[in-house]
Amino acid sequence: MAEGEASLKIRLVKLGKVAYPEIKDLVAVYAERLQTFAKVELVEQKAVDTGPVAAPGQLLVVLDEFGDEWTSPELAARLQKWSDDPGVKTLTLVVGGPLGLPQPTRDAASVKLALSRATLTSDIAWLVLVEQIYRAFNILKGTGYHHA
């Protein structure tokens, strides 16, 4: 990814209503900061039987308690790989609602990611996810935001 180039679009999807406006505000702060690295779209979607599914040019990543756990540098390496892949136009990351993810969304995912083995509320998971993506891009740019 070239300096100043924001070619990758990142969709951060939260299924279900955010319970606390403070969390929504913090997510928006990190999403705004992310705009220097990628085109970011925040989506709150009503939790229904079917959530987002993969479309052409889209890589679908779901948060799943049984998914792979990555360190922040490992997430950064994945973001770099996806950013460099001409077949990936949009990276969609989905946080399930209080009852988890719809099975069609889980089945359509290319990657299942666990932020922690601890149980997080869906709102907290959404906040941690956006901060970790921001941290990952800062690792790639060497800004000093991440202290190893």
- Summarize the confidence of residues 7-26 as an average pLDDT: 92
Domain boundaries, given as residue ranges, for the chain? 9-141
pTM value? Answer: 0.89
pLDDT, residue 8, reads 86
Name the CATH topology of 9-141: Alpha/beta knot (3.40.1280)
β-bridge partners, 57 = none
CB-count burial class (<10 Å; 0-12, 13-18, 19+) for 38: buried
pLDDT, residue 141, reads 94
Token code pair at residue 133:
């993506």
Per residue in 85-101, pLDDT (tens digit) is 999 999 999 999 888 89
Is residue 146's pLDDT more than 80? no
Query: How distant is the alpha carbon of residue 110 from its chain centre?
Result: 13
- pLDDT above 90 as % of the chain: 70
